[in-house]
């Protein structure tokens, strides 16, 4: 059974710092991995999608990496801003792709202090 | 529409009543998903639809839960005889195709409170 874990559960940093959020999964046979952001009282916003054949994806100040063999992904946020404060969730889709089910981690709640 | 639309945004209902939650996916998206997020919990998969294929209902927690998708577009999640433990945010999402690497887009959720 696939399990997704995110560490740390919460993180507080001063504005301007670079930071890394971690996501690990127990079954390396994933189809893809997606990082989302959730603001309080809101739905999820997709940030980055990494296919199983890819090693990383970048969007602006965000960089997500994927190491399937070790069951890990990281989300790197450069030059953090108070507007980055939110909960970040990673989710994996199982290996063959013939499922619509995403397995989510519990999320990392980030606070960036001005 | 521009995004996934869900209604109602908030619903308070009495225990034992039935509720219907509606999801209008992004136009052209053939895959539609329902998830549940309880207070302090992660997202729990409920059901997904892909085109005309039989839906994957493996995440529905009990037979009080059911969902339909009419005409390959709008979906309704129905909870019968609601219980207090059904209180949660019900999130709908859609994508172009489930069995692919397409990005999934979420709505803002329907917040259900059972009193």
Sign of CA dihedral A68, A72, A77, A82: positive
B13 to chain A, closest Cα gap in Å: 19
A31 chain-B contacts, CB cut-off 8 A: 101
Residue written as token pair 């619509």: A100
Query: Residue A39: closest CA among chain B residues belongs to which residue?
Result: B108
pLDDT class for B71, splitting at 50, 70, 90? confident
Task: Report the DSSP beta bridge partners of residue B36.
Answer: B44, B90
The predicted pLDDT at position B5 comes to 96
A–B: how many Cβ contacts below 8 A?
A: 59
- φ and ψ at B72, to 5 degrees? 70, 15
- A-contacting residues of B 60-79, CB under 8 Å? none
What is the per-residue pLDDT across A4-46, written as a single tens digit (0 to 9) for each? 999 999 999 999 999 999 999 999 888 889 999 999 888 899 9
Cβ neighbour number for residue B71 with a 10 Å cutoff:
5
What is the per-residue pLDDT across A94-110, written as a single tens digit (0 to 9) for each? 766 566 788 999 999 99
User: Which residue in the set B56, B98, B106 is minimally distant from A43, CB to CB?
Assistant: B106
């Amino acid at each position: 059974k696939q399990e997704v874990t995110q560490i740390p559960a919460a993180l507080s940093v001063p504005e301007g710092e670079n930071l890394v959020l971690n996501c690990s999964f127990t079954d390396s046979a994933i189809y893809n991995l997606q990082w989302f952001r959730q603001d309080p009282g809101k739905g999820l916003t997709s940030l980055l999608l990494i296919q199983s054949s890819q090693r990383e994806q970048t969007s602006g100040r965000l960089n997500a990496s994927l190491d399937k063999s070790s069951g890990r992904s990281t989300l790197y946020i450069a030059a953090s801003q108070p507007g980055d404060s939110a909960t970040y969730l990673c989710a994996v889709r199982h290996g063959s792709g013939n499922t619509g089910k995403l397995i989510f981690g519990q999320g990392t709640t980030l606070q960036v202090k001005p | 529409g521009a995004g996934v639309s869900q209604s109602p945004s908030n619903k308070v209902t009495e225990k034992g009543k039935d509720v219907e939650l509606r999801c209008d996916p992004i136009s052209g998206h053939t895959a539609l998903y329902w998830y549940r997020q309880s207070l302090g919990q992660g997202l729990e998969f409920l059901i997904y639809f892909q085109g005309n294929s039989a839906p994957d209902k493996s995440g529905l927690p009990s037979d009080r839960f059911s969902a339909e998708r009419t005409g390959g577009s709008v979906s309704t999640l129905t909870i019968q005889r609601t219980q207090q433990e059904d209180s949660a945010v019900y999130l709908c999402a859609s994508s172009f195709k489930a069995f692919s690497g397409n990005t999934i887009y979420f709505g803002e959720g329907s917040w259900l409170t059972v009193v």
